[in-house]
Structure 1
Amino acid sequence: MDHDLPPLRLLTAFAAVVRTGSVQAAAAELNVTQPAISQAVRKLEDHIGLALLDRGSRPARPTEAGIALAATTTESLSKIADLLDRMRQAEGARAQTVTVACSVGVATYWLMPRLSLFYRAHPDLLVNVVTTQSGAPALADGADVAIRYGHGRWSDGDVHHLFDEAVEPVCAPSLRARFEGPVPREAAPLLHVRTSDASWLSWAEYLARTGQPRMHGGGQSFTNYVQTTQAALEGHGMMLGWRSITGALVASGALVSAGLAVLRPKDAFYLALRAKRTGEATERFAHWLRSHARAEYKPD
């Protein structure tokens, strides 16, 4: 069926003749010669096998078939123009949007509180946030960047160091107030996060790496860090506080240090970007995030 369609330039020329009322006016509008317009109309008539202009009148008037074809051509070209305009607008909107993937805890306690600062510096951009349970979310379809915790040796994108982490037990002020010194581990329930993420630090690993006796069992378990943090805020026990997530809560006094050892893991937080198809919005967001992290987490 496509082979039956006449060339678009012939349709455009004929539609201009009908719209302007004459070959002369169409030629002026399209900035071509009158013979070129006349030739285009004749080729179009030959192609479809119908007369489109009544050349017995002066000036030549469109036939009934010509009127129908010109109307359909004009309507179709208008729809194409509208579609192209919407496509350009959509592409422009995408160019001003960046989608970042991160864990629920990082999104809730680290990224979201800082986005207001980003919007002040870049009011023309929009950041979409996709959360996962994992500390190292993949650069799946739809994600331009990912904030990850881990070893940093990933090969699915360009990886940039954001900041190092520090982990220490924290609890509600009411729990800490019950003891004169550090909170005894055996005196407070331990709050655990159940995860398959190999990079996540468990209580058993924390105790082993800080040279403390291992404890067996006890405490509550949760499926994500946000739930665990809420339990700690309500005074239900002692949790491992990751500076990136509970740091603001400690700074505000909502949580306090339990007075136990601080552990600085070898793993760190990184920003992973797609190796290809990174637009201006993504580049600006990544640059701001890295600069902000460097300023906020200066070496001790």
Structure 2
Amino acid sequence: MDRDVPPLRLLTAFASVVRTGSVQAAAAELNVTQPAISQSVRKLEAHIGVALLDRGSRPARPTEAGYAVAAATTESLTRIADLLDTLRQSESRDSVAVTVACSVGVATYWLMPRLTAFYRAHPDCLVNVVTSQTGVPALVDGIDLAIRYGHGRWSDGLVRHLFDERVEPVCAPSLRVRFQGPVPPSAVSLLHVRSSEPSWVTWPDYLIGTGQPVVRGGGQSFTNYVQATQAALEGHGMMLGWRSITGALVETGELVPAGLSAFAPSDAFHLVLRRKRRGAATEAFAAWLTEAVRPRAAVAMDKVAE
């Protein structure tokens, strides 16, 4: 790598300090001396050129940069560990196991509720789910196929269209009853999901796309769709409901439409498979998704549109 990444031992030592709350606890967790931990933290600060601990407080607390470094380290190590587990499982059970990658929101609200039906049809298969913060997860080693949202013009695998998407503002019933007509976006807290992906539909995208005035500022921001959904369920504001994900919550009445126009993005959900080395479980799962799940999703979309 061209970029100067600090040694992993320094990053793990600092992440332990933040996780455990003190140098002493980190030393006990890693089975080293306290001076060794303190020295590792100082070396990491010198390497980065940024203070990671506020030593003016007692006990020393992580700075904003320190929290960011610790969070990135923990997330990266967790993803590595998950990938290694996936690789081990894939190596030992390639013929009966399939590993699918998708975003946290898709996994939680769309894929997991459907796996029971897949297992009924294929009791000998095992589906491993790897979640990603991005809506376009990569087909890295250990991943057999990915559920992606976007334009569909990817060249790293075989792309199959699953279904189109519709986005519609939704909220908790307790918030909806405060308004006789459609819920005005300017009158409630808007729940935002931060994403660097151009395909992600933001509130400004939705409002412009449906010909409504753009609401500037305010509201709450979240790093993933699951967090925003939980905030909406608790009545903290109005969110953009992706019907493939929040549609089930609308069907049960836990969330309700806000009475505003629905927006149909130009992008869609796709299934992307490796071009080679696909096992029997991968083929079975891909066929089941495209042949069984897509028609059900289309029927659900039609009912909502009526």
**TM-score for the superposition, normalised by structure 2:** 0.68
**Which residue in 2 is equivalent to 1:270?**
270
Distance 1:181 1:292 in 2: 37
Distance of 1:201 and 1:91 partners within structure 2: 38
Q: Give the equivalent residue in structure 1 for 2:113.
A: 113
5 Å-filtered alignment, 1:150-189, equals 150-189=150-189
2-structure distance, mates of 1:132, 1:230: 18
The amino acid across from 1:127 in the alignment is V
Instruction: Figure out how many residues of one structure are paired with residues of the other and give that number.
Output: 212
More divergent stretch after superposition (178-187 vs 240-249): 178-187
1:17-36 correspondence runs (5 A): none
SS at 1:266 equivalent: coil
Q: Which residue of 2 aligns with 1:85?
A: none
- CA deviations over 1:74-113 (Å, ceiling 9, x no partner): xxxxxxxxxxxxxxx9867221000000000000000000
Task: Find the counterpart in structure 2 of residue 71 from structure 1.
Answer: none
Structure 1 Cα separation of the partners of residues 296 and 150 of structure 2: 20
- CA distance, structure 1, for counterparts of residue 192 and residue 247 of structure 2: 18
Instruction: Tell me, in whole angstroms, the C-alpha distance in 1 between the residues paired with 2:247 and 2:143.
Output: 27
Question: 1: CA distance between counterparts of 2:119 and 2:258?
Answer: 35
Say whether the 8 Å CA contact 1:191–1:220 is kept in structure 2.
yes
> Does 1:283 pair with 2:294?
no
Counterpart for residue 147 of structure 1: 147
What is the match of residue 219 of structure 2? 219
Match of 1:203 in 2: 203
Q: Secondary structure at the match of 1:298?
A: helix
Q: Is residue 123 from structure 1 mapped to residue 123 from structure 2 by the alignment?
A: yes
CA change 1:255–1:90 in 2 (3 A) is closer
- Please say if residues 147 and 269 of structure 1, whose CA atoms lie closer than 8 Å, have aligned partners that are also in contact: yes
SS of match in other structure, 2:94: helix
Identify the residue that residue 229 of structure 1 maps to in structure 2: 229
Once the two structures are superposed, residues 237-268 of structure 1 have per-residue CA deviations (whole angstroms, 9 ceiling, x without a partner) of 00000011100000000000000010011100
Measured against aligned partners, the alpha-carbon deviations of 1:115-171 in whole angstroms (never above 9, x if no partner) come to: 000000000000000000101101011100000000000000000000000000000
- Tell me how far apart the structure 2 counterparts of residues 214 and 102 of structure 1 sit (CA, whole Å): 31
Please, which moves more after superposition, 89-98 or 184-193? 89-98
Q: Is the 8 A contact 1:165 1:268 kept in 2?
A: yes
- Name the structure 1 match of 2:25: none
Once superposed, what is the RMSD of the aligned Cα atoms? 1.4
**Greater C-alpha Rg:** 1
Cα distance in 1, alignment partners of residues 100 and 149 from structure 2: 14
Mapped to 2, the partners of 1:231 and 1:91 lie a distance apart of 40
Q: CA deviation at 1:293?
A: 2.6
Mapped partners of 1:141, 1:289: distance in 2: 22
1:102 corresponds to:
102
Conserved? CA contact 2:90–2:98, under 8 Å: no
Alignment of 1:55-66 (within 5 A): none
> 5+ residue gaps in structure 1?
1-88
Match of 2:48 in 1: none
Asked if 2 retains the 8 angstrom alpha-carbon contact of 1:163 and 1:293, the reply is no
TM (norm. structure 1) is 0.69
Question: 2:114, 2:267 → 1: CA distance?
Answer: 22
CA distance in 2, matches of 1:138, 1:92: 22
CA distance in 2, matches of 1:138, 1:107: 15
Identity, % of aligned positions? 70
Q: Distance in 2 between matches of 1:176 and 1:204?
A: 21
**Residue 210 of structure 1 contacts residue 263 of structure 1 at CA under 8 Å; is this kept in 2?**
yes
Q: Take 2:237 and 2:90, find their aligned partners in 1: how far apart are those partners?
A: 49
Deviation at 1:291, TM superposition (A): 1.2
Q: Which residue of 2 aligns with 1:50?
A: none
In 2, distance between residues paired with 1:198 and 1:280? 35
* Unaligned ranges ≥5, structure 2: 1-88
Query: 1:194 deviation in Å?
Result: 0.7
* Letter in structure 1 aligned against 2:235: G
Task: Please tell me the residue identity of whatever aligns with 1:217.
Answer: G
Cα distance in structure 1, aligned partners of 2:248 and 2:297: 13
Q: Matched residues in 1 for 2:112 and 2:294: separation?
A: 18
